[in-house]
């Protein structure tokens, strides 16, 4: 093997493989729009998120009337299993 073939096999081909994978992994970073970073001005209208957009502002009907019986509901942050 000549010096040129040795450099091609041991240097150029591995660099080409690394360069290909670098372009594939960084492609989405270069193609996407810039992300919001804390401290930057927010140029978009506010968006309120809710799990039930149809029920925004509605109150639950069940449990509206008060009961004098002790509650049997268990759970929560300090509940027992």
Instruction: Please write the tens of the pLDDT for every residue from 64-80.
Output: 555 566 666 665 566 56
Question: Does the residue 17 lie in any domain?
Answer: yes
Question: Does the residue 77 lie in any domain?
Answer: no
Integer-rounded Cα Rg, in Å, for the chain is: 31
Question: Does the residue 38 lie in any domain?
Answer: no
pLDDT at residue 78, rounded to an integer: 62
Domains of the chain: total: 1
> Structural domain of residue 22, as residue ranges?
1-29
Question: Does the residue 3 lie in any domain?
Answer: yes
pLDDT at residue 21, rounded to an integer: 93
Question: Does the residue 19 lie in any domain?
Answer: yes
pLDDT digits (tens, 9 = 90+) for 22-53: 988 888 777 777 777 888 888 878 777 777 76
Question: Does the residue 81 lie in any domain?
Answer: no
Rounded distance between C-alpha atoms, residue 47 and residue 6, angstroms: 60
Rounded distance between C-alpha atoms, residue 14 and residue 21, angstroms: 11
Question: Does the residue 34 lie in any domain?
Answer: no
Question: Does the residue 20 lie in any domain?
Answer: yes
8: how many CB neighbours lie within 10 A of its CB? 13
b/e burial code for range 11-20 (CB count within 10 A of at least 16 → b): eeeeeeeeee
Q: What is the DSSP letter of 30?
A: H
Block residue for tokens 């000549």:
2
């Amino acid at each position: 093997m000549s010096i040129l073939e040795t450099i091609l096999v041991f240097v150029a081909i591995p660099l080409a493989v690394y360069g290909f994978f670098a372009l594939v992994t960084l492609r989405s970073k270069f193609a996407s729009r810039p992300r919001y970073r804390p401290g930057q001005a927010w140029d978009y209208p506010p968006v309120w998120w809710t799990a039930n957009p149809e029920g925004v502002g509605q109150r639950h009907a069940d449990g509206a009337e008060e009961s004098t019986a002790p509650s049997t509901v268990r759970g929560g942050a300090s509940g027992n299993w």
